[in-house]
Amino acid sequence: MFWPTISSGKDLGLRIDIFDEVGIGGGASGVSGGLLHPYSPKGKLLWRGAECWNECLKLLSIAEAAVPQNFNEFIVQRRGILRPAMNLKNLLILNDNAQNCLASCRIETINQDAAQNLTPNLCLPFNSAFYMPEAVNIHPQRYLQALFLACENLGKELSNSGFGLKELRLHKKSIHKLLDFEGEYDAVVVCLGAKADLLPELSGRLPLRTCRGVIAHLQLPDDMGEDYPDHGPSILSDAWLAFQGPRSLYMGSTWEWKSRNSSPNVSADESSSALQELLPKANVIYPAIKDWTFTGAKAGLRAMPPLTPHGSLPLLGCINDVIGGNYACNFWLFGGLGSRGLLYHGWLGKLIAQAILCSNEEMIPTELTSWKKIKQ
């Protein structure tokens, strides 16, 4: 949301302070597998998926343009994503929904032979898969850090061009109470993910469910098998495979509901349990996974929003009425992005930035603010 805040308020003097104890992309957002597309597991276009997808593509370009030319590690891999049909019902539903795909993120139905041309050693249980050639694989932490750099650069450029002074500062420190900010800022935005309800003002007042996910990192030894194709797609199935290179991949993810463990560190027992759960699922689609070696694991704690008629939508809006009291400062929530933070963050960040700059919550669609009517 920092990019739209700075770009939309270019004529204003802005001071933006970010408080994040682990730094940009250091939390659950930086742990995800980075598979980005605008569809549900059934291949249905998500609520406002077109707007979210278009905004994502813009921000990806902005982030890529911000890094030095000698930056050699990838931020975005445009290798596409393949979703095999796992049963007949799944095949029929995916086939129906694929007819309504976006032109900018097509879904193509392909058979075993076509899939093998993309990825040798792939196995399709029902001889059919749904290929999204424009879907991308992001390295979340590098992307978020590059986008932050772009925000810093834009702020400096606008300040030096005679527009209002823009200050963007990162503070690596914890926040214990929202009301500590009262009187210091015009607006405070809570973007704490699963930790939002640890704030005393919000404890027990947000309809969020927590879920810990473990992601395993695997590598293909130099003396084993053949390289995964440079442009071979990542794979979405009961376990997903996000290929980072010809001999490196992330495999995920587990779903441990009601966990409160937000540590990115994964114990040997937790790693073993995750592998026992994920490897058999991956093996069904990609039997060559047996040649890959486990090298480590990481975890993140998701903040999952409630289910609505439009799907599981994030929670946005002004929360002064939620925390109670009459404040000169407006407090806002930007949370509950669940496992779709990469898709939602751009468009929703733009919405909440505009609402904050205009002090008008009505600029946010009611589908995203209706959570406040849910009794906790």
- What is d(CA 143, CA 32) in angstroms, rounded to the nearest whole number? 12
What band does 70 get if pLDDT is binned at 50, 70 and 90? confident
In 10 A of CB 167, how many CB atoms? 12
Which candidate, 304, 316, 306, 320, places its Cα nearest to that of 374?
306
- What is d(CA 282, CA 297) in angstroms, rounded to the nearest whole number? 16
Which candidate, 357, 363, 281, places its Cα nearest to that of 9?
357
More confident: 165 or 94? 94
Contact call for residues 345 and 57 (beta carbons, < 8 A): no
Q: Which neighbouring-strand residues pair with 102?
A: 105
Instruction: Judge whether residue 310 has pLDDT over 90.
Output: yes
Q: Residue 127: what pLDDT?
A: 94
Per-residue pLDDT reduced to its tens digit, 117-140 = 999 889 999 999 999 999 999 999
Q: Residue 375: what pLDDT?
A: 64
Torsion 287-292-296-298 (CA) sign? negative
- What is d(CA 263, CA 246) in angstroms, rounded to the nearest whole number? 29
Cα-Cα end-to-end distance for the chain:
28
Cα atoms found within 13 Å of the Cα of residue 116, Cβ hemisphere only: 8
| Dihedral over alpha carbons 65, 69, 73, 74 (to 10 degrees) | 30
Rounded to 5 degrees, φ, ψ at 263 are -70, 135
Q: Which of 35-49, 84-98, 151-165, 220-234 has the lowest mean pLDDT?
A: 151-165
Contact call for residues 119 and 75 (beta carbons, < 8 A): no
What is the chain's mean pLDDT, rounded? 92
Contact call for residues 202 and 190 (beta carbons, < 8 A): yes
What band does 9 get if pLDDT is binned at 50, 70 and 90? low
Backbone region of residue 316 per phi and psi (left: phi > 0; alpha: psi in -120 to 50; beta: other values)? beta
User: At 250, which amino acid appears?
Assistant: Y
Identify the CATH assignment for 212-298 out of 1.25.40, 1.10.860, 3.40.50, 3.30.70: 3.30.70
More confident: 268 or 3? 268
Which candidate, 233, 188, 255, places its Cα nearest to that of 17?
188
Q: Residue 2: what pLDDT?
A: 65
Instruction: Judge whether residue 164 has pLDDT over 90.
Output: no
Residue extents of the structural domains in the chain: 35-138, 175-208+305-371, 212-298
Q: Residue 281: what pLDDT?
A: 97
What band does 1 get if pLDDT is binned at 50, 70 and 90? low
User: At 54, which amino acid appears?
Assistant: N
Rounded to 5 degrees, φ, ψ at 353 are -65, -45
